[in-house]
Amino acid sequence: MSRYFRYVYVLPVVVVLSIAILIFVFLFMREEYPYVQNGLVDFQKARVYFFDRIETAGAQAASADYITSGKRLTSPEAHRMAHAFGEALYVTEGVDGVRYCTDQFMYGCYHQLIGQAILEHGIAVTDSLLRICEESDTAAEGCEHGLGHGIMSYFGYTVDSLKKSVDLCLFIDRVSIDSACVNGVFMEYNLRNMVSSETALGVTPRPLADDTRYAPCKELDGLYGQECIIQLPLWWLYALPASMGTTERFTVAGSYCKSLPLALERQRCFVGIGRASSFAATLDASTMRRHCEAASSDDEDRLMCFVGIGKRFQFIQGSGRQTCNAFGLDVSGVRRCMDLVDKSLL
């Protein structure tokens, strides 16, 4: 058979197979994940979907489904989807539903479920939540982080409530000011996850203005204020105008950090940018490195930003030290990065 006739016979087969594959993928995605439209998660549809999934297949199967779905989404959309799953779990399973949350997608499942449990039952429910988390295979940090969100939303979004929430976290954790619970408190104060998970962005952060850029950190004493500064960049990245692209957001956040008067504050602020970069991208060191490079051209600023990335990898994957090799640092820079990743900055 001549080459021409082979093409005549083969080409239609290839075209038909390609169309069939596209149709299959389209129908599969539409059937499996009806709450995703053009890569965006509809919170209400996701909540209904997971409620039905839990009711028909069980919480364990629904948890596996939510993990598979989340891996196909951007980090912010996966986080919002996890919030919807957490709400469906709480409605169907109650407090015990925390057993089926995971530490993926920035702990969104924990945020929603634990926050709703505290809002409904009060602070006393934290004992039950901690016991369940310790008995199950879920990550302790995820539970504690979710507790921080729930506690903050329970007390309300004032500076006095922020201090009270941090104090309660320290009592629960009996550890340091930069614990997962305290981290959750500051994140909730800044982003208001528990009161805005159904909005277009998944969060409605507190307003950002020139005169509130560093609030409430100046009102907080000692270690409270230092942890507050590390948490500011994530808030800035969410609160800046929606018309800004990702690179521009990191550039602006970097300029805010550079304006802090004390060198120690500036260092902690750039660590916060590195930590926050994981919310703007998948957990990819090369992408996060570009965020740090957009934030500042200064070597020290970038190093502290890289340390923040390392701390996120350490917290989520336990691989923070290895991440320091991904930033193009010289030998002494890698060594310093690794040392700081291992240490508390407070």
What are the tens digits of pLDDT across the range 285-299? 889 999 999 999 999
Q: Is 101 within the bounds of a domain?
A: yes
Q: Please state the domain count of the chain.
A: 2
Tell me the C-alpha distance between 327 and 330, whole Å.
9
Lowest-confidence range among 23-27, 42-46, 150-154? 23-27
pLDDT at 108: 83
Does some domain include residue 239? yes
The mean per-residue pLDDT over the stretch 35-64 comes to 92
Query: 317 and 173: one domain?
Result: no
Lowest mean pLDDT among 5-9, 25-29, 287-291: 25-29
Q: What is the pLDDT of residue 5?
A: 44
What does the pLDDT read at residue 28?
Answer: 43
Q: Which residue has the higher pLDDT, 104 or 264?
A: 264
Summarize the chain as % helix, strand, coil (round to 5).
75, 0, 25
Q: Does residue 16 belong to any structural domain of this protein?
A: no
pTM: 0.77
Domain containing residue 47: 43-206
Statement to judge: residues 62 and 175 lie in one domain: yes
Position 31 in a domain: no
Res. 330: pLDDT tops 70: yes
Residues 251 and 346 in one domain: yes
pLDDT value at residue 34:
87
What distance, in Å, lies between the first and last C-alpha atoms of the chain?
76
In a domain, 293, yes or no: yes
Average pLDDT of the segment spanning 190-219: 78
Q: Band the pLDDT of 20: cuts 50, 70, 90.
A: low
Burial string for 268-296 (b: 16+ CB within 10 Å, else e) reads bbbbbbbbbbbbbbebebeebbebbbbbb
Q: Is the pLDDT of residue 105 over 50?
A: yes
CA–CA separation, 228 and 322 (whole Å): 27
Q: Is 247 within the bounds of a domain?
A: yes
- pLDDT, mean of residues 1-15: 51
Total residues belonging to the chain: 346
- Do residues 280 and 183 share a domain? no
Higher pLDDT, 338 or 126: 338
- Give the residue from 180, 206, 232 where a domain finishes: 206
Report whether 276 contacts 246 (CB < 8 A). no
* 286 lies in some domain: yes
State whether 60 and 183 are in the same domain: yes
Q: Last residue of some domain: 181, 206, 231? A: 206
Single-letter amino acid code for the residue at 304:
M
